[in-house]
Amino acid sequence: MGSVRWAFPCGAWRPRRREWLLAAQLVQPEEKDRIGQFVFARDAKAALAGRLLMRKLIAEKMCIPWNEVHLQRTSKGKPFLANTVVSINSNYNFNISHQGDYAVLAAEPELQVGIDIMKTNLPGSSSVPNFFHIMKRQFTETEWDVIKSMSNEWMQLDMFYRHWALKESFLKAIGVGIGFNLQRIEFNVSPLQLEVGQVYETRFDDHHHVAVALGKQTGFLQKDSDVRSMEPNPPQFTLLTFEDLVASGIPVAPEDSTYWDNFCSKQESPVQQSSHSR
């Protein structure tokens, strides 16, 4: 069993009633309830897609029937498989991220893995210089030099989010949460310009950066972008449809028609952010 890289375009997903109710049946009741509490439809779709990605992986790669999968979270919030019956493929490590227009999953046999996706967006209520000032402690001086060396504010933001994805994927792989001093780690990104579809980290399009951190079970972690000599052909992301996402699904709960009414009552996204999304 090899590496897995999946992406689902949750931002473009406009679920029909049948799809939304089916998806809700395919996750654990406490997950369904938590997702139903999101204020915006955008966030509910992304969170639900993330849970479906994990269950698809466990059902298809670890050979545990969908309706027998039991997911829990570590104290740091990282999801893990809590089944007491161990699968023959239980050495899979997996992680998800959802932000912007995609939910993504990375999985590895034997290796620890963390993934993060970031969409380049203008700050909602602040100028770019003020936003950078607020975020000053998140990067080292060297990293800020690279970010601010870009020729205009949009490119600086793009480089900011590229660095952010790298750091977040690293922290998720080692299993630490908020409170970790991000200046303890530093990334020297190269090349400065990423091409769409070219794998160093990964760039899905002109707005989305994805980074995957890999490491041995017991310690030192490296970035996908730093291990090209070890892995000359890093795995490409497969873009899934909704039908792909639920292909192995077995309902774990009865249909709840009120869940669709709840979803329909939600605004897609905050008005202020949507005005900056293009």
Q: What pLDDT shows up at residue 41?
A: 97
Residue 113 has a pLDDT of 87
CA distance 65 to 251: 11
**Which residues in 188-201 are b (16+ Cβ under 10 Å) and which e?**
ebeeeebeeeebbb
What is the model's pTM? 0.85
| Spatial separation of the C-alpha atoms in residues 238 and 147, rounded to whole Å | 30
- Residue 105 exposed, middle or buried by CB count within 10 Å (0-12, 13-18, 19+): buried
Tell me the pLDDT tens digit for each residue of 118-164. 999 998 878 999 999 999 988 999 999 999 999 999 999 999 999 99
In terms of Cα–Cα distance, which of 200, 203, 254, 260 is closest to 224? 200
pLDDT digits (tens, 9 = 90+) for 173-210: 877 655 666 666 777 776 666 654 444 578 888 899 99
Distance of CA 258 to the CA centre of its chain: 28
Domains of the chain by start residue, with CATH? 4-274 (3.90.470.20)
- The confidence score (pLDDT) of residue 93 equals 87
Statement: residue 5 has pLDDT above 90: yes
